[in-house]
Amino acid sequence: MNASSVSSGSPPCPLPRFPAGFLWGVSTSAYQIEGAVDEDGRGRSSWDVFTGERGRIKDGSDARVATGHYHRYREDVALIKELGVGAYRFSVAWPRVMPDGGPAVNAAGLDFYDRLVDELCAAGVRPVPTLFHWDTPQAVEAAGGWLERDTARRFAAYADAVAARLGDRVDRWITLNEPAELTLLGYGLGQHAPGRRLGFEALPAAHHQLLGHGLAVQALRARGASGIGIANSHGPTWAASESAADREAAGLYDLLLNRLFAEPVLLGRYPDEELTAALLSGPVDEDLKVIGTPLDWYGINYYQPTKVGAPDPEATGSAGFAGIELPPGLPFAPREIAGYPQTDFGWPVVPAALTELLTGFRDRYGDRLPPVVITENGCSYEGVEDRERIAFLDAHLRALHDAIAAGVDVRGYFVWSLLDNFEWAEGYARRFGLVHVDYGTLARTPKSSYHWLRDALRAQR
């Protein structure tokens, strides 16, 4: 369908004006959209293995085709251009570039990203590659994956190979996407690839990803790259009550999901040295110097706040969080956030928590916080007439503007996602796109939110 053939209707009131030079963008990731898993010499990834195991993906699907972006990237770049955003955040698949995780480079794999970057540049859209969005080469996973220190070094060698090829046209880089989620869901709880259930023993995977981040920053800088950041997921943690037990539980959750990933990067140290010393081994102090290599900007993926209380001794079984089942015996328990609308995923819609998150980061980290970019924000709703997504984006952009007005230096905002796509353990059941994908025909249909955003961005010019 022609992107301009559907009228969007007008938003309730125009958005406030964002600062000059503010970077608007849309985000995707390789495994969620590309398909073509066996083409042009791509190696297997941890996710190819995981999706092949019975019962791992809720709708029994896999990502062998996904949205077919590998073959339809020109059409997708045209959609991005017509939307009027200045930037596109995508990820490079390590197993395409290094089918065995290295050192051998597969030129045909890099060729795809070369073509994509050229297409973006020709469309006047800035390419913002993420080097790693969870699709670990299976050869690396089989050797222990991110539990192994050597994976950090291999990742940096891969980063170097990508920079050597794309660096002449890229001036915004993202090393990792959400090391917290891969640690928690992939190695801690087993809901994502590689499906390990190590509980707190998963923490070395966090450390090695962070080390890989730091080594990749150094590799990119050695290639003369600029504009380097990371995409960490963050959300405010709310204590279930003012009681000491609830506040302690919330503090621990905040430490594990927010501070553990922000502070090594921003401050060059872990938030709780006793805890981390107990869980990590190796030359951690030396590593922290690498992990804290200064960044040009800091990327935040924001979806929702979390309310946490002390575990209920009466409770048996697991309380869910964001669709994820938790094992019993954790030192904190998620609580329902009532009184807000919910997305189709059941996630509460709390725009003001984005303002709270950003002002909180500024207050906590002061001048150690570089300029911030929201690298993901979005919601899952069914349908092409997606009024709820318009309301979500409108409210979150106002909340973002409030943070800027309060003095937080925010330089960009990327919607998750351009397209409906393979939503990991949820399969295709969750639709986060501004553009609808028919998984039978792979036809793209811009949703109402796409038209709304296009009009809102025009009004900013």
Which positions lie near ligand BGC, rule CB under 6 A? 29, 32, 177-178, 181, 233, 301, 303, 322-324, 376, 416, 423-426, 432
Least distance (Å) between residue 91 CB and ligand BGC: 9
Give the CA angle between residues 267, 145, 279 to the nearest 5°. Answer: 50
DSSP string for residues in 408-443:
--EEEEEEE-SB----GGGTTS----SEEE-TTT--
Least distance (Å) between residue 355 CB and ligand BGC: 20
Burial class, 244, CB count within 10 angstroms (exposed 0-12 / middle 13-18 / buried 19+): exposed
| Nearer Cβ to ligand BGC (18/428) | 428
| Nearer Cβ to ligand BGC (8/377) | 377
Structure tokens given for 35: 């398909």
Least distance (Å) between residue 417 CB and ligand BGC: 7
| Nearer Cβ to ligand BGC (76/160) | 76
Residue 421 · residue 432 · CB < 8 Å: yes
Question: Nearest residue to ligand BGC, using CB?
Answer: 424
Annotated catalytic, 376? Answer: yes
Whole-Å CA distances, 318 to 44, 186, 187, 400 = 33, 18, 18, 34
Question: Annotated catalytic residue: which of 34, 263, 356, 376?
Answer: 376
Question: Annotated catalytic residue: which of 34, 119, 141, 178?
Answer: 178
Distance (Å, rounded) from C-alpha 200 to C-alpha 188? Answer: 7
Closest CA to 1 of 451, 455, 414: 451
Least distance (Å) between residue 30 CB and ligand BGC: 10
Least distance (Å) between residue 191 CB and ligand BGC: 7
Distance (Å, rounded) from C-alpha 66 to C-alpha 34? Answer: 6
Distance (Å, rounded) from C-alpha 459 to C-alpha 461? Answer: 6
Structure tokens given for 410: 């925010």
Peptide bond into 127 cis (omega under 30): no
| Nearer Cβ to ligand BGC (245/324) | 324
Residue 80 · residue 446 · CB < 8 Å: no
Report the DSSP pairing between strands 320-321 and 324-325.
Answer: antiparallel
Least distance (Å) between residue 124 CB and ligand BGC: 26
| Nearer Cβ to ligand BGC (178/246) | 178
| Nearer Cβ to ligand BGC (165/431) | 431
Which residues are marked as active site?
Answer: 178, 376
